[in-house]
Amino acid sequence: MSEAQRRIPSGDPAAEPDLIRAAQKGDAAAFAELVRRYQRAVYRTAYALTRNAADADDLAQEAFVRAYRALGRFRPDEPLHPWLSRIVTNLAFSLFRSRKRRPETPLEPLLESGRQWSVDDDPAKSAEDEERRRHMQNAFAELKPEHQAVLTLRVVQDLSYDEMAKALGVPVGTVMSRLSRARSELKARLGLRSAES
Amino acid sequence: MKHLTDEQLSARLDQQPAGRSEEIERHLTECAQCRNALATLTAQDRFLGAALAHDPGDEYFTTFAARVEDRLRAESLRGAQARLGHDQAPWLRWFQAPRRIAWIGAVATVVAGAAIVIVTSRDDRVTTISALEVRSAPQSTPTDQVATPPTSVREEADSRSLASAPPATRAPSRDDAVALAPAPPAEPGASPARMRQVGPTAQRGADARPPEPAPAAPAPEGQSQGHRVMKRNYAQPLEADKNLAANEAKKVDEDRQESSAPAPAPATLQARDAAGSMTEKEKASTGGGRAPGFAAPPVASGLAAAPRAGEVQLCGQVVDPDGRPVAHASVMLVTIGRTTTSSDAGAFCLSAPEGSFELSVMAVGFQTSRMQVRVAGERSDVRVTMGAVSVLDGVAKSTGGRLDAGEPVKLNTTTGAKSAAKPAAPAPAKDQAKAKTPPVDPFAGESKAATGLAATAMEATRFASTYPTIPTWEKAAKAWGSANTALKTPAGRSEAFYRIAQAKLMVWRQYPNVARKNEALSAGLAVLAGTPTLAQRKDVMRWMTEVRSGPIGRD
C-alpha cells in the first residue's frame, strides 16, 4: 500500500470509513484527522462528565489513545461518534470509581482560574451567570453516573437514542427510560436545591 | 384527565416516536400543566447543556492531536526505541514527522549523553562489565555475571587487591571484585560495541535537530514574499505528501535559498523549510527521497502549533455602539486560534500570518461580534463595534437556536446588584473585569433598605432564570414590585420596572395567554414610560414585539 493510496483528503465526511481503514492500517495522518474531527465532541463529553478542564483534557486525550489501541477491532462502517463517546464515558466512570475511593479536593478552583487555556474565556461561560451554572452543575453532579452519562450524551452530544444505545451498550428502550429518570432526578434535585436556598 | 408520564414527556422532548403520538399532542394542547412540565424539561435541558459546556478555545484544539500523539508515543516509545531503524513497520510512521523526530532526537540525545557520561566517567566499571559479558555471554545474563563473577575474575581481583591495598581493605565485596577486575583483552571489542550502540542514536539526535518543531516562520523576507511564504506554508505538506515532483522540489529549493539568503541557523529553520529541507536532506543522503512519510506529512504540519513569527500585526480597537472603548474584550482570530484581550482603551494587537480570517470579539454585556478581516501588509487595523446584548439572549445565543419556553436570562447587572447589597465588600477583580464597561450600578444612590430589597429581587430573578417556571418568575416580578416601592432614583426604578417586564415576559413565555400577554405588555410600557437606559429600552421594545406577535394560547 502506497502512501498516496492511503492519503485521504481531509474534511470529506464521506471518507470517514476510509479514514478509519487507513488508520487501522497504521496511517498516522488518517488517525490524526479522525482526532481532529472528534476532538471537540470528545472533549465536550469529557468536560460534561468531569466538569473541570484538567480532567477533561486528560480524559479526552486518553480516550483517543484508547481508541487508537482498539481501532483494529472497530468496524469501519459503524459511526465513530458513539464509539468514542462510549470510550470516554467508560473512562469517566472509572475515574469516578477511583475518585470515590480516594476523594479529590474539589476542582472548582481550576475552573475559576480557567485562564490556563490561552483563550480568555469561552462564550457559553462568559455569556451566562456563573452562579446559575454552578447550581446546575452541582445538581447534575449528584446524579448517578449512568444518569449523568445519558444526559451528557443527549444534551451535550446531541446523540440520537440509537447512538446512545450504542454508546452505552444498552437497548434503546433502556435509554429512553433511563433518560426520563435522569431528567426527573435532575429536576427533583434542582427543586431540592432551590428549596434549601 | 390522565397526565403525560415523565417518559412520554421526555420522549416528546427528544422527538422520539414514543412521544409523538396524536394522543400526546392532543393532550398537550389541552393540558397546561403538562405543557408547563414539558417547557420546564426543555429549559432544564438547555440550561444543563450550557452548564456542562466548556470551550477551551481553538488554540487548545490546534495542539490537541499533537498531544494525543505525544501520549501515544510516550507509551510506545519504551518498546519502540530498539526498533527505531525499521521504517517498514506502519506504526513507526508516527515517528517520521519532524516533530516526532525532534522528540525522539531529544530523548536519544539524553540517552546518548547519559551513555557518554557513563562511558567516560565510569570507564573502569563499564569496561569491566562488558568484559564479563564478553567472556561468558553465551551461558547467562549479564546480571548473573555481575552478581557472581567467574572465579577466575574474583581470584584475579583478590590478588590485585592483595597486591595494592593495605590489609584493612582486604576481603573485598563482590562488587569490589567486579569493579576492580581488569579486562584488557575484552576492552577493544567492548568499546566499539558500545560505540555502535551510541553512534546511531546520537546520529538520529543530530538528524532530528533541524526540523525541531520551529513551526514559526521567522520570515525575514518582505511583504511581497510574505504572501508566498504563507502559501508555501500551507501547500508544503501536500506537496511533500505527493513526494514532490522534481520541479516542485526545485521551486522549494529556490524559495528556500531566496528567503534563507542571510543563512539562518539550522535551529531556526522556517516551517516551510522544515519540510523542504527534509526532502532535500533525504535526497542528499539517499539520492531521491527514501521514505515518503518522512517529508512532513500533513499530520505533522497540522499538528504543529500555529506559527508565530514573521507575521503581520493586526491591531484595532473595540468600542461600544456609542464609540466608547470596551475593555477586557476577548479578541480571537477564530480560524487560527489566536487570542488576546483588549486593554482599558479597548485596544488590542494580534500577530497573524497574512490572509483572511474570522475575527471574533466577545465582551460581557455585548453581543459577540464576528467579522472577516484581511491581514496584509506590515500592519492591519480594524475597528470593532460591539452591539449591546439583549438581556434575554444569554445561553440561547451561545448555544445557538431558540427556546420555546423559558429562555434563560442574562443577568448583566448582577454584579451591580451584588455590590449594592454589600457596598463595603470590594467586588472581586474577576467580577470587575467581567463587568460591562463602564460598570453601571442602577442602585448606586439608593437607601440601604432599598438596595437590600433590590438584591433580594435580583436573587429571585437569578433563581427564576436558573429554574424557570411560572411561579419562580412570578415571585421575581413580585420581589421587584416590592423593591420598586422603596427605590427612589430614576435608575433604580427603571431597573426594577425593567426586571418586572422581564419576569412578566418569561411568565408569558412559559404559558402564553391573554392575561399574561396584557401584563407583559403593560409592564413593558411601564419601563418605556420611565427613564430606561438605551439597552433597557431596546430590550423591552423587542420583548413587546415578541409578545404582540407571539402565540396567545386560547383567548
Q: Domains (ranges, CATH) in chain A?
A: 11-104 (1.10.1740.10), 121-197 (1.10.10.10)
Instruction: Report the DSSP pairing between strands B347-352 and B312-319.
Output: antiparallel
Q: Give the closest residue to B393 by CA, choosing from B382, B380, B381, B402.
A: B402
User: What are φ and ψ of residue B109, in 5° steps?
Assistant: -60, -45
- Give pLDDT tens digits for A154-171: 998 889 999 999 888 899
More confident residue, A78 or B272: A78
Q: Which amino acid type is present at position B501? A: A
CA distances (Å), origin B106, targets A52, B111, B357, B395: 32, 9, 35, 46
CB-CB contact of A168 with B10 (8 Å): no
Task: Look at the alpha carbons of B301, B307, B309, B313 in this order and tell me if their dihedral is positive or negative.
Answer: positive
The predicted pLDDT at position B113 comes to 72
The predicted pLDDT at position B355 comes to 78
The predicted pLDDT at position A193 comes to 64
Q: Which amino acid type is present at position B512? A: P
Q: Give the closest residue to A42 by CA, choosing from A5, A2, A86, A72.
A: A86
> Residues 230 to 249 of B: which have CB under 8 A from any A CB?
241-243
Query: Cβ contact (<8 Å) for A194 and B72?
Result: no
pLDDT above 90: residue A174? yes
Query: Cβ contact (<8 Å) for B49 and A183?
Result: no
Q: Which residues of chain B have pLDDT under 50?
A: 78-96, 123-307, 390-438, 553-555
Q: What is the DSSP code (8-state) at residue B385?
A: E
Task: Look at the alpha carbons of B270, B272, B273, B274 in this order and tell me if their dihedral is positive or negative.
Answer: positive
Q: Which grid cell is A68?
A: 487508537
Residue written as grid cell 480570517: B357
Q: How confident is the model at residue A43 (pLDDT cuts 50, 70, 90)?
A: very high
Q: Give the closest residue to B132 by CA, choosing from B80, B93, B56, B187.
A: B187
Residue of B nearest to A184 (CA): B6
Q: Give the closest residue to B177 by CA, choosing from B125, B118, B122, B120.
A: B125
The residues, ordered by sequence, that sit 6+ positions from B428 with a Cβ below 8 Å of its Cβ are: none
Using the Cβ of A7 and the Cβ atoms of chain B, whether some distance falls under 8 Å is answered with: yes
CA A174 to chain B, closest CA, distance in angstroms equals: 11
Query: Cβ contact (<8 Å) for B299 and A132?
Result: no
CA distances (Å), origin B511, targets B32, B39, B552, B554: 7, 9, 8, 11
Q: How confident is the model at residue A148 (pLDDT cuts 50, 70, 90)?
A: very high
> Residues 82 to 111 of A: which have CB under 8 A from any B CB?
none
The predicted pLDDT at position B119 comes to 63
Select the residue of A119, A120, A180 nearest B60 (Cβ to Cβ).
Answer: A119
Distance from C-alpha of B364 to C-alpha of B334, rounded to nearest angstrom: 18
The predicted pLDDT at position A192 comes to 66
Using the Cβ of B67 and the Cβ atoms of chain A, whether some distance falls under 8 Å is answered with: yes
Task: Look at the alpha carbons of B209, B210, B216, B221 in this order and tell me if their dihedral is positive or negative.
Answer: positive
Residue of B nearest to A112 (CA): B430
pLDDT above 70: residue A4? no
> Residues 144 to 183 of B: which have CB under 8 A from any A CB?
none
Q: Which amino acid type is present at position B47? A: F
Distance from C-alpha of B373 to C-alpha of B503, rounded to nearest angstrom: 40
Contact residues on chain A for B466, CB-CB shorter than 8 A: 131-132, 135-136, 190, 194
Select the residue of A43, A124, A176 nearest B11 (Cβ to Cβ).
Answer: A176
**Helix or strand (DSSP H, E) at B315:** strand B312-319
Q: What is the DSSP code (8-state) at residue B392?
A: T
Task: Look at the alpha carbons of B524, B529, B535, B538 in this order and tell me if their dihedral is positive or negative.
Answer: positive
CA A167 to chain B, closest CA, distance in angstroms equals: 17
CB-CB contact of A116 with A52 (8 Å): no
CB-CB contact of B329 with B348 (8 Å): yes
CB-CB contact of B430 with A100 (8 Å): no
Query: Cβ contact (<8 Å) for A65 and B72?
Result: yes
Which of B14, B52, B96, B368 would best serve as a mutation to test chain A binding (most A beta carbons within 10 A)? B52
| Range from A77-91, A128-142, B34-48 carrying the lowest mean pLDDT | A128-142
Query: Cβ contact (<8 Å) for B14 and A62?
Result: no
CA B137 to chain A, closest CA, distance in angstroms equals: 37
- How does DSSP assign chain A, residue by residue? --HHHH---TT-GGGHHHHHHHHHTT-HHHHHHHHHHHHHHHHHHHHHHH-SHHHHHHHHHHHHHHHHHHGGGS-TTS-HHHHHHHHHHHHHHHHHHHHHHSPPPP-HHHHHT-TTSSS---HHHHTS-HHHHHHHHHHHHTS-HHHHHHHIIIIIS---HHHHHHHHTS-HHHHHHHHHHHHHHHHHHHHHHHHH-
Beta bridge partners of B373: B357
Query: Cβ contact (<8 Å) for B14 and A187?
Result: no
The predicted pLDDT at position B160 comes to 43
CA A102 to chain B, closest CA, distance in angstroms equals: 24
The predicted pLDDT at position A42 comes to 93
Using the Cβ of B53 and the Cβ atoms of chain A, whether some distance falls under 8 Å is answered with: yes
Query: Cβ contact (<8 Å) for B10 and A180?
Result: yes
Complex prediction ipTM:
0.77
User: What are φ and ψ of residue B332, in 5° steps?
Assistant: -140, 135
Q: Which CATH superfamily is domain B312-385 in?
A: Carboxypeptidase-like, regulatory domain (2.60.40.1120)
The predicted pLDDT at position B415 comes to 34
CB-CB contact of A170 with A178 (8 Å): yes
Query: Cβ contact (<8 Å) for A186 and B48?
Result: yes
Using the Cβ of B17 and the Cβ atoms of chain A, whether some distance falls under 8 Å is answered with: no
Boundaries of CATH 2.60.40.1120 in chain B? 312-385
Q: Which grid cell is B344?
A: 482599558
Contact residues on chain B for A197, CB-CB shorter than 8 A: 463
CB-CB contact of B49 with A134 (8 Å): no
User: How many Cβ contacts (< 8 angstroms) between chains A and B?
Assistant: 222
